[in-house]
């Protein structure tokens, strides 16, 4: 591998910051370094860029120990874009970019036409040539970041190191910079190692990810291998849902809000059962749990969004195998949860032959004198994939006294007004 970090330990004084870091990166690869604050991400870049010397281990580029390179040779191979790119002098953007040619110049040698042409090419590559004559102090954060990356590229390095290159930038510049880094790996065959704060940006653009925690790499691999709910919980301490985008097939991370402490005794004693599926119950689960209600749910298929959210929130839920109809066993388990509930809510779920029993169980709830709130935000005819059978059962619920609601806010309002329901 062209770039190898082999069993590196790094210290600040007597404090160990990096512990046994070991990975490699090849030409044409964008490696994202992720992890919580204080995990050692910036220290890793500082160690690779020779600002900090490793106490143990070696860093090799194409088999050569980088510590043995002379300064100019090192700068012809490695270029860095720091987290703080503030410049307080009124140099033009072109002057800033031309500073990247210093490793290629002799002592007291000035830039020539070749150097200016290289600088221009790099500024065109980063879409900032039109800023060449503008003072760097007058540029926006995104424009300045493009200029600093162009300066690094003007060194003509083999390895580009970036510390949170999209931090504090608008989304348009975040995308522009990440797409630029992707082009640099695919077209220029650079090795790019970037510390990235946004996990979704990292998943979208990086070929591989290295997850750091307490100075160690705890996971290294593809986005799917690294970005798991368990890894995020263990390192960031956050509950998240990991899904794959239907169009890009890349992972995306959605946080689960922290649950608020129960403050209302009546709410804490009230159990709300959700008849849901297809992700239609997830938002209401969050709201009810945050307000201190006990929540149960069913019947949902495994891997359904509602099932994943229920698992993260520790909500008792009746599940069925993916793409399978509700079995009698699951139906009876569902009834058992409803018997323990004070209120039942039928969510705005689509109905097919596989989950028709969820409408039957709603009827049973009414027969057991359970208050039943039924979402009617989307007309049942548009959610009925049973040739009208689901519509008939839905109308029966109305006729038997179900309370029709149009929104989540209406459900919460009714619960508040009606608390406590009789068990």
Sequence ranges of the chain with CATH classification 3.40.50.450: 265-418
Predicted confidence at residue 1, as pLDDT, reads: 64
Q: What is the mean pLDDT of residues 95-118?
A: 90
Per-residue pLDDT, 265? 39
Residue 308 has which token pair? 């994943």
Query: What is residue 231's predicted lDDT score, i.e. its pLDDT?
Result: 93
For residues 267-296, average pLDDT: 85
pLDDT of residue 384: 87
Per-residue model confidence as pLDDT tens digits over 9-28: 999 999 999 999 999 999 99
Q: pLDDT tier at 256 (50, 70, 90 boundaries)? A: low
pTM of the model: 0.65
Lowest mean per-residue pLDDT among 118-122, 166-170, 393-397: 166-170
pLDDT in tens, 46-94: 999 999 999 999 999 999 999 999 999 999 999 999 888 778 888 999 9
What b/e readout covers 117-143, taking b as 16+ CB neighbours within 10 angstroms?
ebbbebbebbebbebbeeebeebeebb
State the Cα–Cα distance between residues 411 and 116, nearest whole angstrom. Answer: 66
In this prediction, residue 34 carries a pLDDT of 96
Average pLDDT over residues 123-140: 93
- Say whether 405 sits in a helix, a strand or coil: strand
Which of the four pLDDT bands, split at 50, 70 and 90, describes residue 259?
A: very low
> Looking at residue 165, what is its pLDDT?
92
Q: What is the pLDDT of residue 421?
A: 44
pLDDT beyond 70 at 261: no
> Smallest Cα–Cα separation from 145: which of 157, 133, 160, 162?
162
Task: Evaluate if residue 402 carries a pLDDT over 70.
Answer: yes
Which sign, positive or negative, has the C-alpha torsion 302, 303, 304, 307?
positive
What is the chain's length? 423
Alpha helices by DSSP H, listed for 227-369, are: 229-236, 265-268, 282-290, 305-312, 328-340, 357-367
What mean pLDDT value characterizes the chain? 88
Task: State the CATH class of domain 265-418.
Answer: alpha beta
Asked which of 96-100, 202-206, 262-266, 415-419 is least confident by mean pLDDT, the reply is: 262-266
Q: Give me the architecture of the 3-255 domain, per CATH.
A: 3-Layer(aba) Sandwich (3.40)
Q: pLDDT category, 172, cuts 50, 70, 90?
A: confident
Q: What is the pLDDT of residue 417?
A: 58
What is the tens place of the pLDDT at every residue in 360-375?
999 999 988 889 999 9
Mean pLDDT of 122-142: 93
**Residue 197: pLDDT over 80:** yes
Q: Where does the pLDDT of residue 400 fall: very low under 50, low under 70, confident under 90, or very high at 90 and above?
A: confident
Peptide bond into 420 cis (omega under 30): yes
pLDDT tens-digit series, residues 289-333: 888 889 999 899 888 888 888 888 889 999 888 778 888 988 999
pLDDT at 264 over 70: no
| Residue 193: strand pairing partners | 31, 161
């Amino acid at each position: 591998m062209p770039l190898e970090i082999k069993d590196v330990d790094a210290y600040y004084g007597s404090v160990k910051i990096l512990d046994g870091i070991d990975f490699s990166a090849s030409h044409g690869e964008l490696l994202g370094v992720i992890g919580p604050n204080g995990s050692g991400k910036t220290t890793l870049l500082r160690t690779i860029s020779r600002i900090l010397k490793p106490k143990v281990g070696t860093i090799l580029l194409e088999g050569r120990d980088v510590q043995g390179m002379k300064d100019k040779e090192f700068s012809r191979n490695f270029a860095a874009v720091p987290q703080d790119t503030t410049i307080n002098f009124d140099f033009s953007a072109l002057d800033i970019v031309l500073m990247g040619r210093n490793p290629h110049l002799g002592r007291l040698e000035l830039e020539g036409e070749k150097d200016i042409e290289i600088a221009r090419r790099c500024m065109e590559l980063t879409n900032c040539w039109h800023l060449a004559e503008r003072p760097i102090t007058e540029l926006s954060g995104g424009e300045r970041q493009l200029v600093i990356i162009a300066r690094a590229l003007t060194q003509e390095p083999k390895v580009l190191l970036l510390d949170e290159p999209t931090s504090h930038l608008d989304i348009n510049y975040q995308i522009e910079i990440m797409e630029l880094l992707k082009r640099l790996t695919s077209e220029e065959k650079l090795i790019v190692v970037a510390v990235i704060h946004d996990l979704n940006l990292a998943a979208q653009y990086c070929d591989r990810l290295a997850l750091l925690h307490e100075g160690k790499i705890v996971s290294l691999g593809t986005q799917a291998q690294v970005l798991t709910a368990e890894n995020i919980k263990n390192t960031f301490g956050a509950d998240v849902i990991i899904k794959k985008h239907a169009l890009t097939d890349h992972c995306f991370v959605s946080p689960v809000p922290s649950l608020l402490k129960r403050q209302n005794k009546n709410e804490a004693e009230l159990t709300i059962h959700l008849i849901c599926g297809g992700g239609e119950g997830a938002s209401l689960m969050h709201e009810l749990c945050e307000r201190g209600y006990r929540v149960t749910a069913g019947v949902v298929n495994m891997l359904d969004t509602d099932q994943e959210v229920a698992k993260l929130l520790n909500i008792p839920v009746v599940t069925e195998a993916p793409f399978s109809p509700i079995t009698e066993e699951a139906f009876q388990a569902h009834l058992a949860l409803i018997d323990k509930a004070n209120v039942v809510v039928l969510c705005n779920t689509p109905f097919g032959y596989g989950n028709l029993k969820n409408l039957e169980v709603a009827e049973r709830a009414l027969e057991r004198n359970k208050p039943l709130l039924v979402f009617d935000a989307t007309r049942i005819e548009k959610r009925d994939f049973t040739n009208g059978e689901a519509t008939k059962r839905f109308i029966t619920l109305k006729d038997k006294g179900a309370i029709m609601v149009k929104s989540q806010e209406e459900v919460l309002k009714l619960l508040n007004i009606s608390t406590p329901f009789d068990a």
